[in-house]
Amino acid sequence: NAGVTQTPKFQVLKTGQSMTLQCAQDMNHEYMSWYRQDPGMGLRLIHYSVGAGITDQGEVPNGYNVSRSTTEDFPLRLLSAAPSQTSVYFCASTPVAGGRNEQFFGPGTRLTVL
Amino acid sequence: EDKVVQSPLSLVVHEGDTVTLNCSYEVTNFRSLLWYKQEKKAPTFLFMLTSSGIEKKSGRLSSILDKKELSSILNITATQTGDSAIYLCAVEAWTNAGKSTFGDGTTLTVKP
């Protein structure tokens, strides 16, 4: 199993550009989430999904869109990048089955918006 | 809105010391509290505590959930330099399945 994979690892954007951060998991986990982590801070939830076709907003959803057409994939779209979106982005998945709800994290994408 | 507060924000100790990290929370319809360790990469899972499982231990690490005080502690005994990391606490509610709320973390530095 590859676990949770994210691409790209690094990205530099100019203000106003759009892009999609890719996330995939091969563990058949039901739940998936996107977080951002700024220096000195914990993880803040952007969007999450409890299954294919179902998404919901987290704490900091503005400026981001998500969709979940399959169990495996959960892409995050930045609509019009702003310097305030400079951060490290983590995707995570959660098994749920068997009462487990620990999250498995991808390696992260470091995004810089100029 | 769910809330998690961790203390201290940072801590510097020497190898062999014992440390206690704190996590307090406010959450409606509490389901679980989770501890993660984050080195220079993605967080990795340490423990999950629930109303039916309030103590966990793995080697030199242990954690306890205090349901009355709405808090948890993470203890690390005989610290090693490899314990240097950010320790994150998160909570989940039954009514918001799949949605975790994280604290800002405690940065632990263990000096040789």
- For position A14, what pLDDT does the model report? 97
Q: For residues B90 and B101, is the Cβ–Cβ distance under 8 A?
A: yes
Residue type, A50: V
Asked whether the beta carbons of residue A103 and residue B100 sit closer than 8 angstroms, the reply is: yes
For residues A21-33, average pLDDT: 95
Please enumerate in sequence order all residues whose Cβ is within 8 A of that of B111, keeping only pairs 6 or more positions apart, or say none: B12, B13, B14, B15, B81
- For position A39, what pLDDT does the model report? 85
Query: CA A74, CA A49: separation in Å to the nearest integer?
Result: 8
Q: Is the pLDDT of residue B97 over 80?
A: no
Name which of A48, A94, A102, A109 to mutate to probe chain B: the one with the most chain B Cβ atoms within 10 A of its Cβ: A102
Average pLDDT across chain B, whole number: 94
- For position A62, what pLDDT does the model report? 96
For residues B59-87, average pLDDT: 96
- For position A90, what pLDDT does the model report? 98
- On the 0-12 / 13-18 / 19+ scale of CB atoms within 10 A, A39 is exposed
Q: For residues A20 and A67, is the Cβ–Cβ distance under 8 A?
A: no
- For position B47, what pLDDT does the model report? 93
Instruction: Please choose, from the candidates B66, B37, B69, B36, the residue with its C-alpha nearest in 3D space to the C-alpha of residue A101.
Output: B36
pLDDT interval class at B108 (50, 70, 90): very high
The nearest CA of chain B is from the CA of A87 a distance in Å of 13
Residue type, A95: P
A53 touches chain B (CB under 8 A): no
- For position A1, what pLDDT does the model report? 78
Respond yes or no on whether the N-terminal peptide bond of residue B8 is cis (omega within 30° of 0).
yes
Query: CA B108, CA A41: separation in Å to the nearest integer?
Result: 14
Q: For residues A46 and A36, is the Cβ–Cβ distance under 8 A?
A: yes
For residues A27-43, average pLDDT: 92
Residue type, B53: G
A101 touches chain B (CB under 8 A): yes
Query: CA A16, CA A47: separation in Å to the nearest integer?
Result: 21
For residues B85-94, average pLDDT: 94
* pLDDT tens-place string over residues B12-51: 999 999 999 999 999 989 999 999 999 988 999 999 999 8
Nearest CA in chain A to B4: A42
Residue type, B70: L
Query: CA B91, CA B32: separation in Å to the nearest integer?
Result: 6
- For position A2, what pLDDT does the model report? 83
- For position A101, what pLDDT does the model report? 80
Q: Is the pLDDT of residue B98 over 90?
A: no
* pLDDT tens-place string over residues A37-82: 998 888 999 999 999 999 999 999 999 999 999 999 999 999 999 9
pLDDT interval class at B54 (50, 70, 90): confident
Q: For residues A30 and A14, is the Cβ–Cβ distance under 8 A?
A: no
B48 touches chain A (CB under 8 A): yes
Q: Measured on CA atoms in the order B18, B81, B112, B7, is the torsion positive or negative? A: negative
* pLDDT tens-place string over residues A90-111: 999 998 766 778 899 999 999 9
